[in-house]
Chains A and B, each alone.
Chain A
Amino acid sequence: DTGVSQDPRHKITKRGQNVTFRCDPISEHNRLYWYRQTLGQGPEFLTYFQNEAQLEKSRLLSDRFSAERPKGSFSTLEIQRTEQGDSAMYLCASRPGQGPNTEAFFGQGTRLTVV
């Protein structure tokens, strides 16, 4: 399977713990996005990488959220000191090239439950 892969698929954590999610994009895609999706809502943009550069991070939900893409391949999203409101599906997407209108390919997401 050469699609976007996310790991883990499900994560249950206690409030206050840190969690880290991984995304492996399609190999030739230089653009990578993280989104959050809560129940009954559409995906909400969090952050964007072009290769290893994080070009947009102002929409990360708080300073507890951070993301990296150290070698321009896989990416990680970390949430520190999790809160119950962080419970959601976290989606990763990748796109090729630099221009507009290219298709974004989404992973199946990581579902986070904070108890």
Chain B
Amino acid sequence: GNSVTQMEGPVTLSEEAFLTINCTYTATGYPSLFWYVQYPGEGLQLLLKATKADDKGSNKGFEATYRKETTSFHLEKGSVQVSDSAVYFCALEEVLSGSARQLTFGSGTQLTVLP
């Protein structure tokens, strides 16, 4: 079945440091890939997505590139801020049947950015 594996956390960085959170997936075919973020006390929010190989998703300074050769979708940011402290989830879109689709998530990575 489909699955997503994320690097284990927690990750603690100083402000302005470079961030990488690794994500690899196992899937049939080439699913769309997503990063969701969960800020403290809030619901999951879409951060970025990529729908086909070599696509780069980007938002709020975060980037991830869909790499089918390595089945990866690593999240990066060049300079993190304290406000980026959150839990980050990598996900793929799984076809249930027909047009029915749902998301399969990784276990999440807690990021804490210190001032």
The answer to whether residues A48 and B45 also contact, given A41-B108, A43-B105 and a CB cut-off of 8 A, is no
Q: Given contacts A43-B44, A45-B104, could you give 10 more A-B pairs where the C-beta distance is less than 8 Å?
A: A42-B108, A43-B89, A55-B100, A91-B43, A99-B99, A104-B103, A106-B36, A106-B43, A106-B45, A107-B43
Contact count A vs B, C-beta below 8 Å: 63
Interface residues of B (CB under 8 A from A): 4, 32, 36, 41-46, 49, 51, 89, 91, 93, 96-108
Q: Is the interface of A mostly helix, strand, loop or mixed?
A: loop
Q: Is the interface of B mostly helix, strand, loop or mixed?
A: strand
- Kindly list chain A residues whose C-beta atoms are within 8 Å of the C-beta of B100: 48, 50, 55-56
**B103 contacts A45, C-beta separation under 8 Å:** yes
CB distance from B76 to the nearest CB of A (A): 20
A112 within 8 A of B: no
- Kindly list chain A residues whose C-beta atoms are within 8 Å of the C-beta of B91: 42
**A100 contacts B44, C-beta separation under 8 Å:** no
Specify which of B41, B43, B46, B101 is in contact with A100 (CB 8 Å cutoff): B101
| Complex CA distance for A56 and B41, rounded to whole angstroms | 29
| Complex CA distance for A104 and B35, rounded to whole angstroms | 12
